Amino acid sequence: MINVVIAGYVRSPFTLANKGALARVRPDDIAAQVVAALIERTRVNPQDLEDLIVGCAFPEGEQGFNVGRMIGLLAGLPQSVGGMTVNRFCGSSMQSVHIAAGQIQLGAGEVFIAAGVESMTRVPMMGFNPLPNPALHAMVPAAYLGMGDTAENVAAKWHISRTDQEAFAVRSQQHAAAAAQGGRFADEIVDIKHQGVVTDQDGCLRPDTTAAGLAQLKPAFDKEGTVTAGTSSPLTDGASAVLVCSEEYARRNGLTPLARIRSVAVAGCAPEIMGIGPVAASTKALKRAGIKMADVDVVELNEAFASQALACARDLGIRDEVLNIDGGAIALGHPLGATGARIVGKAASLLKRVGGRYALATQCIGGGQGIATLLERI
């Protein structure tokens, strides 16, 4: 079997939707700069690229027109390189990685860019024309349930208290703040230039967050609920990209692989508790690789909400010291389509940094799914 490796990871700064520094920048422009920077940093020969696979949760408006192809053209990739857009909501760009890995193992190419993008400013969540199917709604009422409501459901069902959620949010903010201060995002963030202005810093971080401050917030989704804006990931603009290639290609071309992909999985779950999706997906991926959670040294578990991240961490038995070492989406932000590639790339580079053997990247997906990628250090 052909080994597939992650041989590079970059992302744009993640900034708050509507008021952040990237609010006025088109998503395809953000992503194109990220793709170009990935090529520059990895020194991959763009002529070798088979395809640019871009994850996007709401591929319409400026994210329409098969935005994957448009981003390739904008980034100046050779016209011979393909371009596609993948949608699995929040799991979109992790799916891009999976597709690239599958293609490589199928012998359908040696090197791919798996990217993701979302401007939650410029294309609203649910899109411009939300038209749910009334018959499906009658049949499966939770199919279109709001994400906040699912977070409340998970909090209730898994008995995740508001205090625990807030402690988790503070932890995420503190880890992210420490990483930012320690310059540990420098190798992943690329400058985004727009009309003469350079954005080079994350914009969502709230390093001063305290449990006492969070306790003052009103519930965001249910007046009787426990989930607040402070324990949810913010609406975010941003893009990310990883270089996926065969181990053989990396060796032959002098690229520096960060990690090898050991196994991947997706799994469905009840839509009303979509936040628990990572449990089934990670369990499958671990089983496929024949590894136990105790063996995993780095976990990137997307923090859509503190309630679901805590429920997943408990059910999967993730140790605190390996979880979201540089903070998670509650602090960093969650540009839907871009998060999957970010956490795969982050898990791979953390594996290299902390020196462990296995890393898991996993996330929940609206509609009731989970997706997971298991990496191994080379």
Partner 1 sequence: MQSIRTAAVIGAGVMGAGIAAQFANAGIPVLLLDIVPAGSKDRNGLATAAIAKMLKTEPAPFMSARAAKLVTPGNIEDHLTRLAECDWIIEAVVERLDVKQSLYRKIDAVRRPGTAISSNTSTIPLQQLTQGLSDAFARDFLITHFFNPPRYMRLLEIVAGATTDPKITESIVDFADRALGKSIVRCKDSPGFIANRLGVYWLQVGVIEALDAGLTIEEADAVIGKPMGIPKTGVFGLIDLVGLDLMPHINASLARALPATDAFHEANRELPLITKMIADGYTGRKGKGGFYRLNRTGGGKVKESIDLASGSYRPEHPRDLPELKGAAKDLRGLLSSDGKYGRYAWRVLGQTLAYAAGLVPEAADDISAIDEAMRLGYNWQWGPFELIDKLGAAWVSDKLAKDGMRVPALLRAARDKTFYRHLDGRRQFLGADGEYRDLVRPTGVLMLEDIKRVSKPVLKNASASVWDIGDRVLCFEFTSKSNSLDGEIIALLGQTIAVVKEKYAALVIYNEGANFSVGANLGLAIFAANIAAWSEIDKLLSAGQQTYSALKYAPFPVVSAPAGMALGGGCEILLHSDAVQAHAESYIGLVECGVGVVPAWGGCKEMLARWSAGGLLPNGPMPAASKVFETVSTATVSKSAANAKELSFLRPADGITMNRYRLLGDAKALALKLAQNYVAPKPAEFKLPGAAGKLAFSMAVDSYHQRGLATDHDRVVADELAGVLCGGPADLVDVVTEQQLLNLERGAFMRLMKTEGTLARIEHMLVTGKPLRN
Nearer to partner 1, 106 or 131 (CB): 131
Which position among 148, 203, 333, 370 is part of the footprint of partner 1 (CB under 8 A)? 148
- 176 to 215: interface string for partner 1, x by CB under 8 A: ----------------------------------------
364 catalytic per annotation: yes
Q: Is 219 left (phi over 0), alpha (psi -120 to 50) or beta?
A: beta
DSSP string, 354-374: H--SEEEEEEEETTTEEEEEE
Query: How far from 26 is each of 54, 342, 352, CA to CA, in Å?
Result: 15, 19, 33
Helix (H, G, I), strand (E, B) or coil at 125: coil
Question: Considering 56, 269, 312, 364, which one is annotated as catalytic?
Answer: 364
Work out the number of other CB atoms within 10 angstroms of the CB of residue 314.
14
Does 370 sit near partner 1 (CB under 8 A)? no
- 89 to 128: interface string for partner 1, x by CB under 8 A: -------------------------------------x-x
Do residues 310 and 164 make contact, with C-beta atoms less than 8 angstroms apart?
yes
Q: CA-to-CA distance for 323 and 317, rounded, in angstroms?
A: 11
Which position among 24, 43, 137, 193 is part of the footprint of partner 1 (CB under 8 A)? 137
Does 140 sit near partner 1 (CB under 8 A)? no
Exposure string for 124-138, b = 16+ CB within 10 A, e = fewer: bbeeeeeeeeeeeee
Which position among 132, 182, 213, 355 is part of the footprint of partner 1 (CB under 8 A)? 132
Q: CA-to-CA distance for 330 and 324, rounded, in angstroms?
A: 11
Nearer to partner 1, 235 or 301 (CB): 235
245 catalytic per annotation: no
Could you tell me how many residues of this chain bind partner 1 (CB under 8 A)? 19
98 catalytic per annotation: no
Backbone angles phi, psi at 140, to 5 degrees: -125, 85
Does 18 sit near partner 1 (CB under 8 A)? no
Does 24 sit near partner 1 (CB under 8 A)? no
Which position among 89, 221, 249, 358 is part of the footprint of partner 1 (CB under 8 A)? 221
Which position among 144, 314, 315, 357 is part of the footprint of partner 1 (CB under 8 A)? 144
Stretch that binds partner 1, among 45-53, 143-151, 245-253, 258-266 (CB under 8 A): 143-151
Work out how close the CB of 24 gets to partner 1 at its nearest, in angstroms, rounded to a whole number.
16
Q: Is 183 left (phi over 0), alpha (psi -120 to 50) or beta?
A: left
Exposure string for 81-92, b = 16+ CB within 10 A, e = fewer: bbbbbbbbbbbb
Residues near partner 1, by CB under 8 A:
61, 126, 128-134, 137, 144, 146, 148-149, 219-223
Q: Which residues are catalytic?
A: 90, 334, 364
